[in-house]
């Protein structure tokens, strides 16, 4: 008996027929309007907002902007302010009115800070003022209309 350990199997040195194991494949990503925006965690909803934060937001000025994107299934989106500046987070619980926002809708809103650090802002009391022309809009009950 020898005291040497058994030889370890070596990885194949030849090219595999498909080539999938030799090089790591980069994942192709579809362009997303949400990419680059950071969604706050946990999501601040109307229900979890404190009464004092709600009062401060309702007493604040009304801003105008355009809906950049909104995903009904995820329950959030972003608004691009009319005066420029960074995009504002929008939660589904803060949308007033009968229509689901879509890209290009003109909106008015008030702003509220997002805890715990209160460094970022969230749109509250969001109202669609003009529906984006040439798009289909859905009501919260599921009816679809063309504008």
Cα torsion 28, 77, 69, 26 to 10°: value is: -10
Please report the pLDDT score of residue 44 as a whole number: 60
Q: Which two tokens stand for residue 112?
A: 């509220």
The per-residue DSSP string of 36-93 comes to TPPPPSS---TTTS-HHHHHHHHHSPPEEEEEEEEETTTTEEEEEETT-SS-EEEEGG
Please report the pLDDT score of residue 113 as a whole number: 81
Q: What is the mean pLDDT of each run of 10 residues along the chain (147 residues)?
A: 65 54 57 59 61 73 94 91 92 89 94 79 91 88 83
């Amino acid at each position: 008996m020898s005291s040497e350990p058994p030889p370890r199997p070596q990885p194949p040195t030849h090219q595999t027929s498909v080539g999938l194991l030799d090089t790591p494949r980069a994942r192709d990503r579809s362009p997303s309007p949400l990419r680059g925006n950071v969604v706050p965690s946990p999501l601040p909803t109307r229900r979890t907002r404190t009464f004092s934060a709600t009062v401060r937001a309702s007493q604040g000025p009304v801003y105008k902007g355009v809906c950049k994107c909104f995903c009904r299934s995820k329950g959030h989106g972003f608004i691009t302010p009319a005066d420029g500046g960074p995009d504002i987070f929008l939660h589904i619980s803060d949308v007033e009115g009968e229509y689901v926002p879509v890209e290009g809708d003109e909106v008015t809103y008030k702003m509220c800070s997002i805890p715990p650090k209160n460094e970022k802002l969230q749109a509250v009391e969001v109202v669609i003022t003009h529906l984006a022309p040439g798009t289909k809009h859905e009501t919260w009950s599921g009816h679809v209309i063309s504008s």
